[in-house]
Structure 1
Amino acid sequence: MTPSTRSLLLGSAIVLAMAACKKEEQQAPPPPEVGVINVQPTSTPLTRELSGRLAPVRRADVRARVPGVLLERVYEEGTDVKEGQVLFKIDPAPLQADLSSAQGQLASAQASYTNAHVAAERARRLAPQQYVSQSDLDNAEATERSARAALQQARAAVTNAQIRLGYANVEAPISGRAGKQQVTEGALVGAGDVTLLTTVDQIDPLYVNFTMSSSELQSLRQAQGQGNVSLSDTEDTTLKVLLSNGQTYDQPGTLDFSDVVVDPATGAVSLRATLPNPQRALLPGSFVTVMVNMGTRSNVFLVPQAAIQRDTQGAYAMVVGQDGKVARKDVQIEDNAIDNHWIVTDGLKAGDQVIALGLQQAREGGQVKPIPYEQAKAQAAQAQQQQGGAGGQPPAAADAAQGDKPAPAPDAKGDDAQQPASGQAQ
């Protein structure tokens, strides 16, 4: 083969290689589109979901304060009663007899005092003329004083007998809802002990008793010291109550008490809130879920739950840089979510483009084309509708559909808890 032939063949090979490279470049697919959220710092309510129990504001035991036979129950069980309303009647005959006896003793004491007073007055008039001795005068005045004391004692006995007779009508000590009758008619009550007849509970408003771990409360205090959290005053802290059926109670509560001592058995701090109950729909003793607004957390980011992933290293988000390449950012998040958004406290900065749709097509270091999240979601929904008849579903549409399903809850500590997720943007 001549040198000219070899040169011709070599040139042809180079031309063919360049053409092949150019063809591959022309056939290279464009970077995939991903929906991004341009995150900005914001302030959010600092809420905690805790378990609580309802209790009456006041609870009074209605007891028999005098011995006797229970004659009748006047009130209707389970109804509202007023303070001072008669609930039970005890046989008053023995108590009336005691009052009559005390009144007779009072009359006798009154007569004795009258006689002693007359004698003492006579002695005091005759003493200056020395018609009576000083000793007789002293004795007359001493008898008068003794009779006066006996009269006062007899009056007190009558008052006590009247009070005990009044206890024959057992009255409600407070206004509230009267409970079940504990003793039937005809039973002897108050003999040797104060017999419990029923209870009265004041259920409007109600107390909500709950606890918070001392470590969590301490972390809130530390965050407040760093300026990231502003805690509400006790009288301004509000809460919502979730009932057992999942519905939110329509009346907000107010935190009115926070204990200053940690329970050594549980390591928790007791808190209490007041909850209006005008319709008497809530009953004491019920367990409820309490959403407590403890204050405000500032300089945090709200990110859709679908944008946060996790692995063995913790929670992270995929961010599109200025060059269009995908980068991973490890983040710290709160355990609770707000409107299907995670609260990111660390790991992001203002202006980061967080991928919230199309994560299946995003690879760390890969090239992508960022578009606004809402636009990407609309395109995915349209593509899904067009291909619905063929049974196909593009990856972005699959992400959009998956965003409305429960997703595992990412946790910076690597916990396996799960939270509901949604791909809706703030």
Structure 2
Amino acid sequence: MNSETFIPKTTTISKTNLNPIPIMKKITILSIMAVFLISCADKSQAPAAAPAPLLPVMAIKNSNATTDAEYPASIQGTVDVEIRPQVSGNLDRVYIDEGAYVSKGQSLFKINERPFREQLNNALANLHGAEAALINAQLEIDKLTPLVQNKVVSDYQLKTAKASHRIAASNIEQAKAMVESARINLSYTTIKAPVSGYIGRLPKKQGSLVSASDVEPLTNLSDVHEVYAYFSLGETDFINFKSQYSGNTIGDKIKQLPPVSLLLADGSTYSQLGKIDMVDGQFDKNTGAITVRATFPNASGTLRSGNTGKIRLGIQHDDAILVPQSATIEMQDKIFVFTLNKGNKVNKMPITVIGKSGTDYLIKDGVKSGDQIVLSGIDKLQEGQVIQPEKSTAKVALVINKK
């Protein structure tokens, strides 16, 4: 066997199998298709524009309304009396306590009466002496009269006796006046309530020396079955008040006024309505205001002298423009509403408020009858934003005073 060397055949790879051009074309085409598909996918997933919000709107109309004006008021009893002594002396008894209710004629204090009783006794003694002197003068006249008639003595003596008689009679009148004065002073030692009402503080205690010249009274007594609430009107308010109600005089106009309410210090409304019954005769030159008085019944004693509150006075307005408070927004001490124009765009409009009627604002200027305003959702609105208006059936509420 011939030995032959085995030489393996080398496989030759054709250069055409390694040509990269077709592969690159495929990669490029695939890349372009991927970018196209991704861009299409992004466009399909982009969010659509938000629709215009649907918000309620209302057309403003003129209407009659009653606004409530509030004025600070001070309250007093119909009778506020300072209880003072009319004679000097030691305070023997104090019959009442602070805050107690007393009736007219009830004893409140007792001043030591002994000095005044002695003055009365002395005055009575002088009266008795004057009465005796009058008797003596009369006896003298009776004695001299027949003597003068018989011309035993001259009529000069009789005339002198008659003059003495008149002096004695006048002394009796004077003595009677002194007795009455002493009795009055004695009665002043018992201090009684001039009216029914509530007792105030008692700065003087039993044993204190009191005098009619004391700066501080013994106490104060308030009759509060009715109370007066005093408040002030400025000149402009007073002119409006006079022009609003019919009548030739202030008294005639007062009769046309509706009842008024009283707001207490805690914000609650007093259960009884009051009536304005007095307007002061002149303006205070220092404040430029005039005082007005309203009377309120107070049978339960809820109100006391010294209370404070506010008088709520209803003022009638004809053809007024009212805007709900909920449709307004306040910014930097200004109040705005959003009005709607023809393109359903909103405009932020400042308004001037001159009063309140229930839950509504009374508007002086900024909007007019026929304007449309947005009622809610205004806290998210922007100037010029487009909305979808939804007609509201809400009506502007009017305040009707209870009679």
TM-score interval for Structure 1 and Structure 2 normalised by the shorter chain: 0.7 to 0.9
2:63 — aligned with what?
Answer: 42
What is the aligned-residue RMSD (CA, Å)? 3.5
Give 1:98 shift. 1.3
Q: How does 1:330-341 map to 2 (within 5 A)?
A: 333-341=352-360
* Offset of residue 76 of structure 1: 2.9
Matched, 1:286 2:307: yes
Aligned match for 2:363, one of 321, 344, 350:
344
5 Å-filtered alignment, 1:93-108, equals: 93-108=114-129
> How many angstroms apart in 2 are the aligned matches of 1:80 and 1:126?
72
Structure 2 CA distance, aligned partners of 1:95 and 1:252?
50
Report SS of the residue matched to 1:248.
coil
Aligned to 2:253: 233
Counterpart of 2:318, as a letter, is S
Using the alignment, how far apart are the partners of 2:333 and 2:203 within structure 1?
61
Query: Is the counterpart of residue 296 in structure 1 residue 284 in structure 2?
Result: no
Asked if 1:357 corresponds to 2:376, the answer is yes
Q: Secondary structure at the match of 1:146?
A: helix
Cα distance between partner residues in 1 of 2:332 and 2:304:
45
- Provide the secondary structure at the position in 1 that maps to 2:218: strand
Q: Sequence identity of aligned pairs in percent?
A: 27
Q: Taking structure 2 as the reference length, what is the TM-score of the superposition? A: 0.73
Following TM superposition, by how much is the alpha carbon of 1:42 offset from its aligned partner in structure 2, in angstroms? Answer: 1.9
2:326 to 306, 313, 325: 306
1:36 and 1:297 map into 2 onto residues whose CA distance is 24
Amino acid at match of 2:222: D
Shift of 1:135: 1.0
* Alpha-carbon shift at residue 128 of structure 1 (Å): 4.2
**2:166 maps to what in 1?**
145
Equivalent in the alignment of 1:265: 286
Task: Report what 1:412 is aligned to.
Answer: none
Are 1:66 and 2:87 an aligned pair? yes
Q: Confirm whether residue 86 of structure 1 aligns to residue 104 of structure 2.
A: no
1:249 pairs with 2:281: no
Deviation at residue 246 of structure 1 after TM alignment: 2.0
What is the CA–CA distance in structure 2 between the aligned matches of 1:222 and 1:95, rounded to whole Å? 57
1:183 partner SS: coil
The residue type equivalent to 1:336 in the other structure is G
Asked if the contact 1:257/1:273 (under 8 Å) is kept, the reply is yes
Does structure 2 retain, via aligned residues, the 8 Å contact 1:320–1:370?
no
Instruction: State the Cα distance separating 1:314 from its structure 2 match.
Output: 6.5
Displaced runs of 4 or more, over 6 A: 27-31, 310-314
Determine whether 1:177 maps to 2:212: no
Task: Decide whether aligned partners of structure 1 residues 365 and 54 sit closer, same or farther in structure 2, where only a CA change above 3 A counts.
Answer: same
Structure 2 residue identity aligned to 1:356:
L
Q: In the TM superposition, what is the alpha-carbon distance from 1:222 to its structure 2 partner?
A: 9.2
8 Å contact 1:331–1:345 — kept in the other structure? no
Distance, in Å, in 1 between the alignment partners of 2:348 and 2:252 is 32
How far did 1:308 drift? 3.6
Query: In the TM superposition, what whole-angstrom CA distance separates every residue of 1:352-378 from its partner, at most 9, and x where no partner exists?
Result: 44332354568659574442245xxxx
Partner in structure 1 of residue 298 of structure 2 = 277
User: What TM-score do you get using the length of structure 1 for normalisation?
Assistant: 0.69
Question: CA 1:46 to 1:131, structure 2 compared with 1: closer, same or farther past 3 Å?
Answer: farther
Rounded to whole Å, the distance in 1 between the matches of 2:252 and 2:205 is 51
Residues in 2 aligned to 1:74 and 1:311: alpha-carbon distance in whole angstroms = 62
Compare relative contact order (CA 8 Å, sep 6+) and give the higher one, 1 or 2.
2
How does 1:346-385 map onto structure 2 within 5 Å?
Answer: 346=365, 348-359=367-378, 360=380, 368-373=388-393
Local SS of the residue matching 1:196: coil
Give the C-alpha shift of residue 35 in structure 1.
Answer: 1.5
CA distance in structure 1 between the aligned counterparts of 2:105 and 2:223, rounded to whole angstroms? 14
Matched, 1:189 2:240: no
Aligned partner of 2:189 among 156, 168, 172: 168
Cα-to-partner distance string for 1:241-272 (whole Å, 9 max, x where unaligned): 22222211111222233334333433333333
For residue 134 of structure 2, the aligned residue among 113, 116, 120 is 113
CA distance in structure 2 between the aligned counterparts of 1:337 and 1:102, rounded to whole angstroms: 71
Could you say if the C-alpha distance between residues 251 and 224 of structure 1 is closer, same or farther in structure 2, counting changes exceeding 3 Å? closer
By how many angstroms is 1:153 displaced? 0.6
**Tell me, which stretches of 5 or more residues in structure 2 are unaligned?**
1-47, 246-250, 398-403
User: How many angstroms apart in 1 are the aligned matches of 2:242 and 2:139?
Assistant: 83
Cα distance in 2, alignment partners of residues 79 and 186 from structure 1: 21
Distance 1:365 1:187 in 2: 80
Name the SS for the 1:110 alignment partner. Answer: helix
For 1:185, the aligned partner's letter is: Q
- Provide the rounded CA distance (Å) in 1 between the counterparts of 2:216 and 2:55: 75
Query: Which residue identity lines up with residue 157 of structure 2 in the other structure?
Result: D
Query: CA–CA distance in 1 between the matches of 2:216 and 2:336?
Result: 65
Q: Against the structure 1 CA distance between its residues 223 and 84, is the aligned structure 2 distance closer, same or farther, given a 3 Å change threshold?
A: closer
Deviations 1:6-37 (A, max 9, x none): xxxxxxxxxxxxxxxxxxxxx99986543222
Q: Secondary structure at the match of 1:357?
A: coil
Which of the residues 45, 68, 73 maps onto 1:52?
73
How has the CA–CA distance of structure 1 residues 197 and 32 changed in structure 2, closer, same or farther, with 3 Å as cutoff?
Answer: closer
SS at match of 1:76: coil
Deviation at 1:291, TM superposition (A): 1.5
Gaps of 5+ in 1: 1-26, 226-230, 375-423
Rounded Cα–Cα distance in structure 2 between residues aligned with 1:281 and 1:313: 38
Residue 115 to residue 312, structure 1, CA distance change in 2 (3 Å): closer
Distance 2:318 2:190 in 1: 61
1:11-26 to 2 correspondences below 5 Å = none
Alignment pair present for 1:214 and 2:218:
no
Residue in 1 aligned with 2:225?
Answer: 204
1:44, distance to aligned residue in structure 2 (A): 1.8
